Amino acid sequence: MRVRISYQKRLQIRYTSTLDLQSIWERSMRRASIKVEYSKGFHPQPRIQLGVPLPLGCIGLDEKVDIWLKGSLSIEEISRKLQGKLPEGLEINTIEEIMPTEKPLSSIIQFSEYEVYLLNEETPIKDIQNRITKVLNQKEIIRTKRNGKKYDLKPLILSITLKDDNEERPSILIKLLSQSNRTGRADEVMFALGFSITDFLVERIGSFT
């Protein structure tokens, strides 16, 4: 059976990369004594498929992973078995059984929504609003990827809005394309807005089709 687990990724484990998260799930399932199916071939791998990769350091509120299980278990049983078997910071929201033929998450997800918290309070709200307007009015935003290639961030941005409900600190809501070959990064948007890497904390609210 194939299950889709929605989970949160916060605390220390947000510093675990997507690659390492694969083995975290594999080991968690083994601790829970839930048998996972393996791929065929010379180097059989457990069939665990993570959704859209979450950049290192980001909090995720509704991350997804698909896992193929041997035999069939009730959802209640899976969730009971997993209790206390996940490392600190991973928390399950929901588990659902899905069709084995369903397309992988990475191929159906279109966009993701982020909430970015500002760690400094110095920047005046008005100023932030101005910066957002300016960026949204720009024709293109040329940025450089880690591999040195230049790309235009602008078409990847769906929206940027300031959330200021007078509670605590203001935050910025960002909606970005999240397709396999066209993915925007929230931190890049923040850089375009003139913030530096130590100024903010990114939280992904969810990814949508």
Partner 1 sequence: MRESQTIKEFLDRNLITVQKPGRYVGGEFNQIVKKWDSVSCHVALVFPDIYDIGFPNLGISILYDIINKHDDALAERVFAPWMDMEKLLRENEVPLFTLENKKPLNQFDLIGFSIPYETLYTNVLNMLQLADLPIWASERLASDPIIIAGGHATFNPEPMHAFFDAFVVGEGEEVIDEIINVIKHDKEKGYKREQIIDHLAMIDGIYIPGYFDVEYNSDKTIRSYINKEQPNKHSITKRFSKKLPTPPQYPLVPNINVVHDRIVVEIMRGCSRGCRFCQAGMIMRPIRERCIDEIILSMRNIVINTGISEISLLSLSSSDYTDIKELIDKVMELSDEFNLAFSLPSLRIESFNSDLMDSLEGKRKGNFTIAPEAGSDMLRSVINKPIPNSSVLETVQNICEKGWNNIKLYFMIGFPNESMQDIEGIVTLCKKVNDIGKKSNKGRFKLHLSINTFIPKPHTPFEWVGLGKKEQIIEKTNYLRENLKNSRIQVDFSDFNSSYLESVLSRGDRKLSKVIYSAWENGAKFDAWKECSNFENWDKAFSSNSIDPDFYTHRSRETTEIFPWDHINIGVDKEFLIKEFDLSKNMQTSIDCRHECLVCGIQTNFQINCSKIKSVGVEE
Chain residues in the site for partner 1 (CB under 8 A) = 11-13, 15-17, 19-20, 24, 26-31, 33, 38, 56-57, 85-89, 119, 197-198, 201
CA angle 130, 132, 135 (to 5 degrees): 110
111 or 200: whose CB is closer to partner 1? 200
138 or 191: whose CB is closer to partner 1? 191
Cβ 149 to partner 1, closest distance in Å? Answer: 21
Cβ 78 to partner 1, closest distance in Å? Answer: 15
Nearest to 175 by CA among 191, 189, 195, 193: 189
118 or 173: whose CB is closer to partner 1? 118
Neighbours of 209 (CB within 10 A): 8
> At a CB cut-off of 8 Å and minimum separation 6, what does 169 contact?
117, 118, 121
Alpha-carbon torsion, ordered 22, 115, 205, 66, to 10 deg = -20
14/18 Cα distance (integer angstroms): 10
21 or 128: whose CB is closer to partner 1? 21
Cβ 133 to partner 1, closest distance in Å? Answer: 27
For residue 118, the cross-strand partners are: 200
Cβ 80 to partner 1, closest distance in Å? Answer: 16
Cβ 101 to partner 1, closest distance in Å? Answer: 26
